[in-house]
Amino acid sequence: MIASRFRSLAKLILSLLLVLGPASAALAQSAANSSQYSAQEIVDAGHGFFGATSGGLAKVVEKAFNSYGLPNGYILGQEASGAFIGGLTYGEGELFTKNAGQHEVFWQGPSLGWDYGGAGNRTMMLVYNLPSIDGVYGRFGGVSGSAYAIAGLGMTVLKRDGVLVVPIRTGVGARLGVNVGYLKMTATPTWNPF
């Protein structure tokens, strides 16, 4: 009789483990991804931010997600830039994260290349592999290109110490060219692009 109860109890425990095991693994995976943003969350934030000019935003976000996965932060802001062979960019915005809240961020940087024109942009930057808020501050280098008159939408990729920043810009102005440069992210505004 005791052996029969022991077998029944063992079967019950085994059944519970089989049922709860996958559920707890799914819960752990869900918790791990709770600090990341889905494509729909990013598109919704972008549509609210970019407004009527965001027709191609979903395609650009889809390309970023296919290439780099789920970001764990994003920045919404505006910037101004101009270039005649050498150029400068200045911007400001808000960094959004799920687990560390919102933080003000500023960026500035030089560029050099075959690049002419000026633009005012609304910018969304997807942030990948951000270990902490301090991980966004510093210089992110990369190659950028643009070609538009009146308005345009484009994406570039900047990298520093494993953290990727993917700016998606919609601009008004006239700009043509390819350049190499960096953006320096800071917690306070500065005129020094270097």
In angstroms, rounded to a whole number, what is the distance separating the alpha carbons of residues 38 and 51? 20
**Mean pLDDT calculated for residue range 106-135:** 89
Cα distances from 157 to residues 12, 71, 104, 183, in angstroms, run 53, 13, 21, 11
CA–CA separation, 45 vs 71, rounded Å?
13
pLDDT in the model for residue 21 = 45
Tell me the three state secondary structure of residue 125.
strand
Q: What is the pLDDT of residue 150?
A: 54
pLDDT of residue 144: 64
Q: What is the mean pLDDT of residues 104-121?
A: 87
Cβ-in-10-Å burial (0-12, 13-18, 19+) of 100 comes to middle
Continuous segment of H or E residues that includes residue 31? helix 2-33
The tokens for 106 are 């500023």
pTM: 0.76
Q: Are 132 and 72 in contact (CB under 8 A)?
A: no
| The predicted structure's pLDDT at residue 22 | 44
Given pLDDT bands bounded at 50, 70 and 90, which one contains residue 152?
low
Higher pLDDT, 144 or 99: 99
Share of the chain residues as helix, strand and coil, in percent rounded to the nearest 5: 30, 50, 15
> What is the reported pLDDT for 170?
79
**pLDDT at site 112:** 87
Higher-scoring residue by pLDDT: 178, 42: 42
Of the candidates 71, 15, 7, the one whose C-alpha atom is nearest the C-alpha of residue 39 is 71
Taking the alpha carbons at both ends of the chain, their separation in whole angstroms is: 81
What mean pLDDT comes out for the span 30-54? 75
